[in-house]
Amino acid sequence: MSGPAMIVHLVLEHFCRGPLARVPEPELVMMDPAQNAAFRDAGRDDGVLAFLYLYNALQITSLVCPGETVLDLACGPANQLAMVARLNPEARFVGLDASPNMLEEGRSTLSRCGISNAELLAGDMTDLTPFDNATIDCVVCTMSLHHLADSDALEKVTREARRVLKPAGGLYMLDFGRLKRRATQRYFSQDWRDEQSPEFTQDYLHSLQAAFSIDELTNAARVLGPGIEQFATPLAPFIVIFRSRARRALSAKTQQAARDLYARLGPAQMRKFQAFARWLRMAGCHLPMSLASCVPKQ
């Protein structure tokens, strides 16, 4: 999100016909140790994606009430799960992932962060048979749908999410949308190349190429039922969000905890957070609290 160059790419995206053909991920389950480590490091407090994890954490927190159970599909190294669990110490979290290596990374993350209200399980997000119907209060899935093999698998995930979710439960799914130009995909994957490892840059490009189209995502989300809002970044669906309406207002204690996490981002990450939040706010997707007053002076 580097200003003028990004705007040029987005305008070209907007007027381009497409989308491109989808290129599935080279590995549907992340097993490569270097790739896993790069993804883990990107989501840490000082990582290139820390601002995105905080954005997601705030959105998810508005959907979680004390005492509830939250299921995180394809939780990966659990950086996202750990951040949400910090903000919701009275809720219980279950992270599900198909990669033994990622589960090992995730357990290390939870231990390092001192998280005691979360557990990790091995499992496939297209088949949630270990969970009974209508037993989960909130289902979340962030930056993982593009790892699925095809649109049939995508629809299995949304059907299973709906099945295990309680009737009045919360849902939050965020992923890339498939762009129309290879040049735009390359631009976004390399925009922060000085701040990320070569492995992460390559994985980022693979993720963008494997993203589902906005039509595929919308069709799969139909089974989620009424009350689910859909948002996409203006000009191009770089990010697509499916979210239920807020289920609670954030308490003063939770808001202070969020400010503390925000303060740990550092000035550059804070600016990225604000730019990203503003981009989605233009699409009507608002955060449950504002951190604008905390933006550092340039």
Beta strands in the chain (DSSP E): 69-73, 92-97, 118-122, 136-142, 165-176, 228-232, 239-244
Does residue 196 contact residue 36 with C-beta atoms inside 8 Å?
no
pLDDT of res. 19: 75
pLDDT of 38 > 80? The answer is no
Distance, in Å, from the CA atom of 70 to the CA atom of 62, rounded to the nearest integer, reads 12
Indicate whether 31 pLDDT > 70. Answer: no
Question: What pLDDT shows up at residue 221?
Answer: 98
CB distance 177 to 232 below 8 Å: yes
Q: Is 259 exposed, middle or buried (0-12, 13-18, 19+ CB in 10 A)?
A: middle
For 118, the 3-state DSSP assignment is strand
DSSP state of 293: G
Residue 50 confidence (pLDDT) above 80:
yes
The answer, yes or no, to whether residue 22 has pLDDT greater than 70, is: yes
Task: Please tell me which residue, 12 or 3, carries the higher pLDDT value.
Answer: 12
pLDDT in tens, 225-240: 999 999 999 999 999 9
Q: 197 versus 207: which is more confidently predicted? A: 207
Domain boundaries, the chain: 4-287
* Burial zone of 158 (CB within 10 Å; 0-12 exposed, 13-18 middle, 19+ buried): buried
pLDDT in tens, 63-112: 999 999 999 999 999 999 999 999 999 999 999 999 999 999 999 999 99
Q: Can you tell me the mean pLDDT for 1-25?
A: 89
Record the pTM: 0.93
Lowest-pLDDT choice from 43-57, 71-85, 122-136: 43-57
For the segment 135-152, the average pLDDT, to the nearest whole number, is 97
Residue 252 sits at φ, ψ, to 5 deg, of -60, -40
Just give the CATH number of 4-287. 3.40.50.150
- Considering only residues 193 and 113, tell me which one the structure prediction assigns the higher pLDDT: 113
Residue count of the chain, please give it.
298
Q: How far is CA 23 from CA 18, 62, 147, in A?
A: 14, 34, 11
